């Protein structure tokens, strides 16, 4: 269905004009990804603004998650994956050999589709990152980091009295907020979220969306989502991916009200996807 509706050969991306309210945080140019011999991404050029939420939308297998994983070099962990092109964060090339992906991932936090707290206590979940990065020089400092992170993630009030309980004992939505707190704890600049609400019920989803909106004030957030409504609710910018191409990129409102590419239009109106 998808293939018949869209001319697959068009490689040109439609860019909407953007009011430069925030500086560019992540700048991608010519990013290509191959899994073994299969090309998963074709020449992606994309500038992402700081202190805002950017949503990646598109049908399954369009490459939005793949691109997301390029931003913190998670693709390095897959043996067969090969990444080409340039991604700069604050003008620093992250695909440079001199960059330690491990340190990069501390700067670019990630939240996954299914909540994946470590099977340890709530406290240890949040404290793990600061510990391995040497962010706290003492127990008090660590406690403070844990507390602020949990507060920022809006979880503190619910767990303050049971920090020593296992992270898995929380509800799904709480777990996902715990994971967000865990990501915040290492003081990242960018937070990547890969369909963070797809495993949650509507109420928990609403809570997370609220949280995302709050976090926008301090972080550059990039969120992959299947739900167009969610993209419309939380994001300021939207990028539409299709078959490994970036089709259209612009302010969320414009993308949803005035898509310029046929494929975007078809996707948004529900013709495929």
Partner 1 sequence: MGAIALAIAFLGVLLGTIVLQASGAFTNYVLTLPVTLEREIADPRGDMSEASLRRGSYNQLIQRSLQSEFPAASSRADLRELFGLYSGLNAASVMHRVIADPSLVGSTIDVTMPANHEIDLYLKGVTVEESITAGSGTIQAGAISGDITLSSDSPAFANAIARIRQQASSERDALLGRAARLEADAAGAASRDAREAGLAAARRAREEAARFDTVIDPETRITLGPRTASLLIRLNGGVVAVSALTPDGREAEGRVLLPLESAEASASWSEWVIETPAAARRITDQQAVYARALEERGMVERRFNTNLFLNADSREPELAGVMGAFIGSVLTMLVTMLLAVPIGVGTAIYLEEFAPKNRLTGFIEVNINNLAAVPSIVFGLLGLAVFINTFGMPRSAPLVGGFVLALMTLPTVIISSRAALRAVPPSIREAALGIGASRTQAVFQHVLPLAMPGILTGSIIGLAQALGETAPLLMIGMVAFVADAPSLGLSGLTQPSTVMPVQVFLWSGASERAFEMRTAAAILVLLTLMIIFNAAAIILRRRFERRW
Partner 2 sequence: MQLSLITALALLVLTAVGFLAGRSRALALAEKDGSRLHSLPGYHGYYVALWAGLPGFAVLAAYALAGTMIVNTIVLDRMERAAEPLQARYELALANDDIWSEAEREIARLDDEMAALRGEAEQVIAAEGVQSDAVEALRARQDELQFAQDDARFTRDARANTIAGDIIQAVPEAGDHALARAGFEFARLPVQEREVFLADARALAFGDGLASRDTPELRATAGALQPVHSAIAWGACLGALGLALAGLAFARTHLAVRFRARNRVEWVISATLALASLIAILTTLGIVFSLLFESLRFFAAIDWRVADFLFGTQWSPQTAIRPGQIGQSGSFGAVPLFAGTALITLIAMMVAAPVGLFAAIYLSEYADSRVRAWAKPALEILAGVPTVVYGFFALLTVGPLLRDFALFLGYEDAVTQSALSAGLVMGVMIIPFVSSLSDDVINAVPQSLRDGAYAMGATKSETIRHVVFPAALPGIVGALLLAVSRAVGETMIVVMAAGQAANLTANPLESVTTITVQIVTLLTGDQEFNSPKTLSAFALGLVLFVLTLILNIIALRVVQSYREKYD
Residues across the chain: 273
Distance CA 153, CA 126 (A): 11
| Residue 208 binds partner 1 (CB under 8 A) | no
Helix-then-strand count for the chain, H and E = 11, 11
| Minimum separation from the CB atom of position 134 to partner 2 (A) | 5
Angle at 198 between CA 30 and CA 45, to 5 degrees: 10
Q: Which candidate, 89, 113, 94, 53, places its Cα nearest to that of 189? A: 89
Residue 1 CB: number of other CB atoms within 10 A?
A: 10
Which window, 129-137, 188-196, 213-221, 233-241, contacts partner 2 (CB under 8 A)?
Answer: 129-137
Judged by beta carbon distances under 5 to 8 A according to partner kind, the member of partner 2, partner 1, none in contact with residue 134 is partner 2
Rule CB under 8 A: is residue 100 a binding residue for partner 2? yes
- Asked whether position 96 contacts partner 2 by CB under 8 A, the answer is no
Residue with tokens 């700081």: 50
Q: Which does 22 bind (CB under 5 to 8 A by kind): partner 2, partner 1, none?
A: none
Whether the Cβ atoms of residue 220 and residue 248 lie closer than 8 Å to each other: no
Binding mask 35-74 for partner 1 (x = CB under 8 A): -------------------------------------x-x
Transcribe 117-173 into DSSP letters: --SSBHHHHHHHHHHHHT--SSHHHHHHHHHHHHHHTT-HHHHGGGTTSBGGGS-HH
**Which residues, in sequence order, are bridge partners of residue 26?**
48, 89
User: What character string, x for contact with partner 1 (CB under 8 A) and - otherwise, covers 147-186?
Assistant: --------------------------------x--xx-xx
* Residue 107 interacts with partner 2 (CB under 8 A): yes or no: no
Per rule CB under 8 A, is residue 102 in the interface with partner 1?
yes
Residues 103-142 that bind partner 1 (CB under 8 A): 103-107, 109-112, 114, 116-119, 128-129, 132-133
- Cα–Cα distance, 40 to 60 (Å, whole number): 12
User: How many angstroms separate the CA atoms of 182 and 268, rounded?
Assistant: 34
Nearest approach, Cβ of residue 55 and partner 2 (Å) = 32
* Residue selected from 3, 17, 134, 203 as contacting partner 2 according to rule CB under 8 A: 134
From 133, 260, 262, 271, residue interacting with partner 2 (rule: CB under 8 A): 133
Q: Kindly list the residues in this chain that would bind partner 2 in the complex (CB under 8 A).
A: 100, 102-103, 132-134
């Amino acid at each position: 269905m998808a293939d018949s509706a869209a001319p697959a050969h068009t490689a040109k991306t439609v860019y909407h004009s953007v009011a430069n309210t925030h500086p560019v945080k992540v700048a991608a140019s010519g990013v290509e990804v191959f899994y073994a011999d299969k090309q998963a991404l074709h020449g992606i050029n994309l500038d992402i603004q700081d202190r805002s939420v950017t949503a990646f939308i598109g049908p399954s297998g369009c490459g939005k998650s793949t691109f997301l994983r390029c931003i913190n070099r998670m693709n390095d962990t897959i043996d067969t994956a090969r990444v080409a092109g340039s991604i700069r964060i604050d003008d620093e090339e992250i695909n440079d050999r001199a960059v330690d992906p491990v340190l990069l991932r501390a700067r670019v936090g990630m939240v996954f589709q299914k909540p994946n707290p470590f099977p340890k206590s709530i406290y240890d979940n949040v404290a793990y990152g600061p510990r391995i990065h040497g962010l706290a020089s003492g127990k008090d400092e660590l406690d403070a980091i844990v507390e602020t992170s949990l507060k920022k993630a809006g979880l503190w009030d619910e767990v303050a009295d049971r920090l020593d309980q296992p992270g898995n004992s929380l509800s799904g939505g709480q777990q996902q907020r715990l994971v967000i707190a865990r990501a915040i704890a290492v003081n990242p600049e960018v937070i990547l979220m890969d369909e963070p609400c797809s495993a949650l019920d509507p109420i928990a989803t609403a809570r997370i969306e609220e949280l995302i909106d709050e976090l926008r004030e301090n972080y550059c957030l990039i969120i992959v989502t299947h739900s167009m409504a969610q993209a419309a609710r939380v994001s300021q910018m939207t990028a539409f991916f299709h078959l490994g191409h970036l089709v259209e990129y612009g302010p969320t409102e414009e993308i949803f009200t005035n898509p310029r590419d046929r494929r975007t239009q078809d996707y948004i109106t529900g013709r495929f996807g």
